[in-house]
Amino acid sequence: MIKEVIVVEGKCDTAAIKRAVAADTIETNGSAIGDDVLRRIALAMERRGVIIFTDPDHAGERIRKIVARHVPGCKHAFLPQEKAYYKGDIGIENASPEAIKQALSELRTDTTEDGSGEIGWDDLIQAGLIVHPEAADRRLAMGKLLGIGYANGKQFFKRCTSFRITKAEFEEALREMEQNKEGYHNG
């Protein structure tokens, strides 16, 4: 049984989680998260800890931000889009139990304290993660390797900071990405 309570978007996500692992969930029922749901998440954080595990899409990212803002210190699980895709739909409910277990084994904790980190904006530019013709594809590949999911340039930078990605982790992922070009497609 996973100790933390897993925050998901809906009933189908809960069913997918329960097929993969023994865990309790709290469903946000979409991005219009009510105060009562946020209070339950805060209580779960106090008592057991919380893992935010939302769909790898815009709505899921919005929910992740809302919950993380209201309940600081949550752990985050990220599922790559291709592991959550089925017949035009992207969601946790489409993922295999193995993909869910993998995402839950690579948790990141949001530890934003002073807003500083080892990775700077210039590091992202030099790595071709922003201001580069293939920046989106490169961020997708790096997000997978670092276990922080896909994000636009500004959000990727925030994740590197808040999840305290070290220079060594960043450089190792960059080397792996460069050696394994199939990690992203050439547009």
pLDDT > 70: percent of the chain: 94
pLDDT digits (tens, 9 = 90+) for 150-181: 999 999 999 999 888 999 999 999 999 999 87
Alpha carbons 152 and 53: distance in angstroms, whole number: 19
Residue that finishes a domain, picked among 53, 85, 110:
110
Query: Of 110, 145, 163, which one is at a domain's C-terminal end?
Result: 110
**Main-chain dihedrals φ then ψ at residue 7, nearest 5 degrees:** -90, 120
Tell me how many domains the chain contains: 2
Q: Which pLDDT value is given to residue 187? A: 41
Domain harbouring 3, CATH code: 3.40.1360.10
CB 111 within 8 A of CB 157: no
The answer to whether residues 76 and 5 belong to one domain is yes
pLDDT tens digits, 114-153? 556 789 999 999 999 999 999 999 999 999 999 999 999 9
Contact of 77 with 107, CB cutoff 8 Å: yes
C-alpha–C-alpha distance, residues 146 and 182, integer Å = 16
> Which domain covers residue 19, as residue numbers?
1-110
